[in-house]
Structure 1
Amino acid sequence: MYTFLAGIVLLIIGYFTYGKFIEKMFGVKEDRPTPAYVNGDGVDYIPMSTPKNSLIQLLNIAGTGPVFGPIMGALYGPAAFIWIVVGCIFAGAVHDYLTGMISIRNRGAHLPELASKFLGKVMKHVVNGFAVLLLLLVGTVFVSTPASLLHLLSDGRVALWIFIAFIFVYYILATLLPVDKIIGRLYPYFGALLLISALGVGIGLVVTGAPIPELSFQNFHPEGAAIFPLLFFTISCGALSGFHATQTPIISRTTRREKEGRKIFYGMMIAEGIIAMIWAAAAMSMFSGYNGLNEILAAGGPGAIVSEASTTLLGAIGGTLAVLGVIVLPITSGDTAFRSARMIIADYLKVAQKKFSSRLWIALPLFAVSVVLTQIDFNLLWRYFNWANQSTAVIALFVASMYLYIARKNYFVALIPGTFMLIMVITYILSQPIGFNLPMNISWGGGFVGAAILVVLFFKAAVKARANNIPLEVDVSDWKKAS
């Protein structure tokens, strides 16, 4: 219990200390107008309040990641707590804040455009394809998981395909309509449900005195589970997730002032970390240890853990509300995944999105591909999503590193976590069956050597970019013309 509570306290302290340090280092410009006003179009660029933006950002980035990921990560024991806390404060929240703020400085640009500007034009095409693929995988996964939970909640009385169809209809509307029509109106209520359900489970763990394991050398990782690199892909949302880099530009286009960035981007990542801690603790404490947890996961997946833990801690009614809160998570990330994909493709093709027809012809093919992807085995999709997700995080952190290097600021805050995850990404794809399935010693060697080469290339490009005085932000007077 002490490890669990200490972790949550550290996350909160991290927001007020390291988060403040990152904000000060970046340098907020209070008098600089944001894209919400300069590029206002009534569809994607609309100024909204800080509380509303914060709740939308939390729901956008969350998905099932801070619930399902930590539940599966609980198999690694209290080592999961370390990654959630350290990863969230020093990697994930930094990643989200810098991506959001750099986007604000560049008329709400998405990651492919930022990669093109700071890492080279070739990267625009690479990252564009990579980001759209990731968003399609996310959208598809976040159709399947909430539909399965709703099917489970109905005790199988309602056919699974009905829930899938219902979610797709909602996604189409949320993707095509202006951001303040559905997302801006419903998300504050969804956000309240999410926070209340997570806090209810957390308080239930404390009140019942759940036997949450403490951090020690004896139980650091039960059954000798290989922490490196698997833990960092099992738990992504709640610690570090590249998916967030595709979501923050949605809110960078609705943020009213740069000063609000720390609450919206850094703060909501900390909130997600707390949610992750709660569900990891629930999974570790309630199912008779590693073997019991493993059996339930094998039989019913993370959804069974969510249902059982919620009902046990909160009763029938409270448990149902908690499950609904978890169902909301993937739905409110799936819709913005498709919305982000639509915006990224529109930016890439330079198609204005004010007309409904312009949004429609870009969005419909995305949904058609997603329907096909729902027929693929979920576990296979999830593994590819994990790798694509963390690869995107690496790209975003290196974009932030380049920005800070050119600005002569402390680029190590982004480069260190970016390099660490780069090693993990290369090692993972070399060692896993979805990749090259090489022996671990060869994979580790490839990870370190590959990362070293790419970091050297980064510095070579960074020195050149600084010498060429690449502009860090779009001149406000040029925004209308550029859009």
Structure 2
Amino acid sequence: MSAVILVVIAVILFFIAYVSYGAYLAKKWGIDPGKETPAHTMYDGVDYVPAKAPVLLGHHFASIAGAAPIIGPVTAAVFGWVPVFLWIVIGGIFMGAVHDFGALFASVRHGGRSIGEIIEKNIGKSGKQLFSIFAWLTLVLVVAAFTIVTSNTFVGVPEAATSSILFILLAVLFGYATNRLNVPLGVGTVIGVILLFLCIVAGLYFPIVLPQKTWALILLVYVFIASVTPVWILLQPRDYLNSFLLYAMLIGAAIGIFIANPTIQLAPVTSFKTNLGYLFPILFVTVACGAISGFHSMVSSGTTAKQLDSEKDARLIGYGGMLIECFLAVIALVTAAMLLKDKYAELLKAGGPVTVFSTGVGSFIARLGIPQKAGTSFAALAVSAFALTSLDTATRLGRFVFQEYFSSDDEKAAESLMTNKYFATLVTVAFGGALALSGQWSTVWPIFGSANQLLAALALLAVSVWLANNGKDNTNTKYPMIFMFAVTLTALVFVVQSNLAKGNLILAVIGALLFVLAVILAVQANKVLSNLKKPPTDINA
């Protein structure tokens, strides 16, 4: 079977889903372009800053599309390409995009607050406290993991380090030019993208070589600064410009696939049980980003909701942004599926999923007349750039969750040390840095897949209860929520069993605690839904 057929089917289905199902949800939920968003009503020049739709789409897409939508599909291809493809397409359209869109819209209607705040308003304070602790610890783990991943990348590919530093400087100049000097976005984008690719060229000629621990410390200082810096000067412009790297890689790879017309070599379906485990639930935990990922709800309800200029942009950014990531996941799957089983296993063992992806994309781009080595290096550089984006976004999100946990309507609490943005950031970076530099993050990381999908289930639960509380039909979020709870709880049972068998009590206990957390929040939500007698206030109020 030709890989072109897979790509064409995916593109057609994603387009149809966006213009039909996405529009249906927008109408059903009550998207109101005339209603002011928190970016305007709560503008503070730091976190609450309205952004034009293309800029915010760039930020959102760059934040959610790190290495995960590449690693997941390539790794899960051991089950065969058919189940992975179906999960990406069906899961992306009816679960992932709904999850991201719903979390974004619910957050906007709650003053740009996080999922934890939505849970407090609609389920109860204890639910928010449990969720916030879990979300913050998960984000600290992400900060630790991506600090090591990014610093290792800078050591292994010093060209990426130079390019990344130049990206940051370019972003500051772009942000100042478009927000303070009133340079038109179109003009700034053309100049910025040209300079962006020149940064990549400069990195190839002037690589910066430093020890891994030095890079880790530099990154921790950077993410602290990035977390408290106004979004318009760094976060918005850097992610917007970086997104063009991924767009270019996606377009180049797609055109290359059409020219090369590779044949799918991997088996459609291998076995229900592989070295990864059972297809259910492991496939649905392994392929998270690219189908549905709880981390996306933190981005949607964390940074993105605070920058949404108009509610009419929510469908493009929330639903559309996820579908673009699903397309990236399909491309990643093709890079694995076009290999024979032995070659796939060889590349996976030699350099991991990113190597499989970079090699495949390099071969596609080579069809455009670009040297394959250059195409492979470009793909690797693009992935490393997005790892850095995910790192500082996770830090800012950790700061938000920490502040919200200690926030209240009391003025003294609102001005306390615990809600101070600098202190909240310092605590988040300190814990993430300590975990990273100690090396203990790798001990806990194996449970991240289950924790991430539990976040998705809880985000869908929060949106479902909010919709029901406001007299709206929550069918479109409720059934995906039930499925994700089934996936997560089953996966956690396997985590506890396998780690008890190995004598790894730490992971077994963490898995058991996550299981209990999920059950408690589900029970609390069910009580709220059962007690609803009449819809209190209109969703558009």
Structure 1 and Structure 2 fold alike (TM over 0.5) = yes
Instruction: Map residues 237-386 of structure 1 onto 2, 5 A cutoff.
Output: 237-249=289-301, 250-286=303-339, 288-289=340-341, 291-314=342-365, 315-350=372-407, 358-374=420-436, 375-376=438-439, 380-386=443-449
Deviation at 1:472, TM superposition (A): 5.2
Cα deviation code 1:152-192 (max 9, x no counterpart) = 32499653334333432331221110111111221221010
Distance 1:399 1:132, change over 3 A: same
Q: Which residue of 1 aligns with 2:56?
A: 53
Match of 1:106 among 110, 134, 158: 110
Q: What TM-score do you get using the length of structure 1 for normalisation?
A: 0.87
Match of 2:119 among 93, 115, 119: 115
Q: Percent identity?
A: 28
Q: Which residue of 1 aligns with 2:71?
A: 68
For residues 119 and 420 of structure 2, what CA distance do their matches in structure 1 show? 25
DSSP 3-state at the match of 2:105:
helix
Match of 1:160 among 195, 204, 212: 212
Residue type of the alignment partner of 1:35: P
Q: Please identify, of 220-229 and 151-160, the stretch whose mean Cα deviation from structure 2 is larger.
A: 151-160
Deviation at 1:465, TM superposition (A): 4.1
DSSP 3-state at the match of 2:34:
coil
Contact persistence 1:75–1:293 (CA under 8 A): no
Q: Please identify, of 119-128 and 371-380, the stretch whose mean Cα deviation from structure 2 is larger.
A: 371-380
For residues 460 and 137 of structure 1, what CA distance do their matches in structure 2 show? 32
Match of 1:202 among 254, 257, 264: 254
Q: What TM-score do you get using the length of structure 2 for normalisation?
A: 0.78
Cα deviation code 1:181-230 (max 9, x no counterpart) = 1112212210101111133223323322222258xxx6223585321000
Residue type of the alignment partner of 1:460: K
Q: Which residue of 1 aligns with 2:528?
A: 461
Deviation at 1:451, TM superposition (A): 9.1
Contact persistence 1:8–1:277 (CA under 8 A): no
Structure 2: which 5+ residue stretches go unaligned?
160-207, 366-371, 408-412, 502-513
Contact persistence 2:471–2:538 (CA under 8 A): no
Distance 1:465 1:472, change over 3 A: farther
For residues 170 and 397 of structure 1, what CA distance do their matches in structure 2 show? 33
Cα deviation code 1:23-61 (max 9, x no counterpart) = 111011222111011111111111110110111011111
Residue type of the alignment partner of 2:222: Y
Paired residues, what number?
460
Residue type of the alignment partner of 1:324: L
RMSD: 3.0
Q: Which residue of 2 aligns with 1:5?
A: 8
Contact persistence 1:205–1:282 (CA under 8 A): no
Q: Which residue of 2 aligns with 1:400?
A: 463
Cα deviation code 1:343-362 (max 9, x no counterpart) = 12112222769x9x932211
Structure 1: which 5+ residue stretches go unaligned?
439-446, 476-483
Contact persistence 2:144–2:441 (CA under 8 A): no
Residue type of the alignment partner of 2:93: I
Distance 1:195 1:166, change over 3 A: farther
For residues 307 and 434 of structure 1, what CA distance do their matches in structure 2 show? 35
Deviation at 1:379, TM superposition (A): 5.2
Deviation at 1:144, TM superposition (A): 2.3
Contact persistence 2:447–2:495 (CA under 8 A): no
